[in-house]
Structure 1
Amino acid sequence: MSKAIITKIGLGVGFLFATIGLIATVHLIVTLLINASGYRTSSLMNHAHFDKSTKECLDNEDCPWNLVFSELGDKLLLLEMAFKEQASAREGIENAVNNHTTAHMFTTGRLSELISRIENLTVNYEQMDKRVSSLSRRLFSDEIIGFILFVIVMVEVVRQIRPHVRPLVDLIKSKIATMRAKKAHMNGAVINGMTENDIDRPKDETDIMIRKEEKKVMFQQTNSPNISMIPKLGILKNEVCIVLFKYENIPVYTNVVEAMLNQFYDVKVAAVSHPYFMIESQKDINSIPHVKLFIVICNSHGNHTNGGRDLLAVSLKIMKRLGATIIVIIGNDEGSVKLPSHNLYNTNLHLINSIDMMQELAYNNLVFSVQHEMTSFHQTSHFRKTIKTVLNARLNAQCRHLLKAD
């Protein structure tokens, strides 16, 4: 019950306050309306009075407001003109902005088209790059295969023609050396008052016999069924044959040749009755083995004739016809004990100057002179190098160690 009474009292009080507030609001509104209507009426009356006084003042030229209003009118005209100029300027700016907008839209479209084309070009470039890379790999592999095939073909060609070309080259070199030696001999002969016909003519009976013997030996080697023919170029055995003419040269063989051959691994000596091949007659010359290298040991002051025939000169000619390389070692020469540092032989030996083949071999650095053994390092080195080059031989480990130590 108490709660209901309190609620009703609260409602009554609230209604009372609401009524009071409404009355106050209505009173305020009415007051405002009355004040507004009075202000408007007074304002209109004042404005009418001002207009009337102003009009009367303006009609009078002495009115102080006349200058003010005229100046005010001029300023209003200036303001109107400035406003019009600003309006035209705004229109111009608007048109320019519109034009720039249009140009921007057009440029944007062209740029979009250009970007799309660049993207297409990028895609095409990537595809072309891939194709070029693929072609490059193919070309590189093809070039490698072609180069390998070319190398194989060239190696095979060289391997096939080398045995035939090398003797031909050696023959050409020997011909050139012979021509140079002959020319030098001719120059010396002309100085001594001899003519070219005198030089070509056989010097003595020994030279006549040498030439006859060469023809005879070549004829026998070509026609005799018991003697093997001169081999074709390129099929000589890769061996060495040591040729002696006198047994007194065996110490030179032992001290020089045998000692040098022991420095190699795989040097083969021609299969003869002895480690050396002794030539004592014409029959021995006919049995010369067909090898790539001949080491001829002769005597510096000895006689190499048999029955009036110079076996040394004939043997050298036959060996040259075979296409072999010839090394001549002249032994028992006292003048070779102390040779100059880069000399291979004693230049005063009559044996070298008396035989054309010896002069040719000396020109090609294939002649050595010793007393009993080689005392010059230059001689030993060149002798070793010649054997190694001709026979393609390998030095043994002990020799390589000694050469490195030197």
Structure 2
Amino acid sequence: MLGAGLVEVPPVPYRDPADAIMENPEVPENRRFCSRCDEPVGRSREGRPGRTEGFCRNCGHPFSFTPKLKPGDTLGDQYEVLGCLAHGGLGWIYLARDHNVSGRWVVLKGLLDVGDSDAMAAATAERAFLAEVEHPNIVKIFNFVRHGGSGYIVMEYVGGRSLKDILLSRRRELGEDASLPLPQVIAYGLEVLSALGYLHNVGLLYCDFKPDNAIQSEEQLKLIDLGGVRRSFDAGSPIFGTPGYQAPEIAARGPSVPSDLYTVGRTLAVLSFPFRGYTKKHLRSLPPRDEVPLFQRYESYYRLLRRACHGDPARRFQSAAEMAEQLTGVLREVLSAEGTALPPAPSPLFGPEQNAAGAEVADLGNERNGDEPILRRLTPAEAAGALPVPLVAADDPAAGFLAGLTARDPG
């Protein structure tokens, strides 16, 4: 069960790592771009296939899209390479066995373009502090090793399918306009917010969340690509993002907690309805409500996305916990509208009731002559004492003092 334990998401079977190895690892030509000027490189011409290594014709910067590791290579006298799993924005991803820890499966992530200093800096930063990150919804970083002049991140293997793959699979089955069920999308969003909230609380920003960067394995969701993660006070490291998901103020102001939450809002939109033009016409906006049936049916969901994806970061959610609280409320409304009976939710503002006030039977002697007993009337002090106690706000300057009081303390 995901989404605050309210949604039963279809499980994704664990994928045998050996079955995931690519037979012919190469970067498609339409995804080859210069890391310096973003011009196309390595393209076919006059019937000749494009080069996988060379120099950009526009700026002269070197490029390389060839895997640097081959099956049988051993890194650090510990990790035996078995093959390539995939390629991404920051590098090739390899499957390996850790011969020092029971032959467990691990993933090695190298650099896609070894001439890209920004990518090298991102990988170096990733290994420096992310090995200390511990959260059930975030892939675990084990180690960092160097081989042949390149660095590689060693992380746990997560066998499953990305949210992007899950969406595309549904569209292949049901048509191009198909989307994931809204409760399932919200459940994914709550898991992601839990992970981002953890990162934010330890002073880190994820920066590049999108459907590609979360994998569901069986009934668990994990963030898998930590290449863009940076410290919240870091003003000098390269910033990685994806058009259609990245907040509009990034270039001018840099990343922040609200910009991270913006990426979650955009991802929720992409997964929950046919969001055409999200990288062009609606690069920095949502479609009008009257164009999206889902928005017409669930106004609260529409309002949540409008706030999460607002152009002004000051008008977005300011914490993952705040957004998760609102998203949970939307989920409960959606499930109720679909006929799902839900248990009462605890209040985020008040504690539980102190006692069952007004349950005592009044002692009236024989005055009632056998009539049904009546409940004793509460005094004002008893009624006030039975009310739920407001929870202490964590940002209240007097939070420590207030938390030490009890409901029975005199005012």
Q: Relative contact order, CA 8 A, sep 6+: which one is greater? A: 1
Tell me whether the two structures share a fold, i.e. TM-score over 0.5. no
Please classify the TM superposition score into its range, dividing by the shorter chain length.
under 0.3
Which structure has the larger Rg over C-alpha atoms? 1
* Structure with higher strand content: 2
* Structure with higher helix content: 1
Normalising by structure 2, we get a TM-score of: 0.24
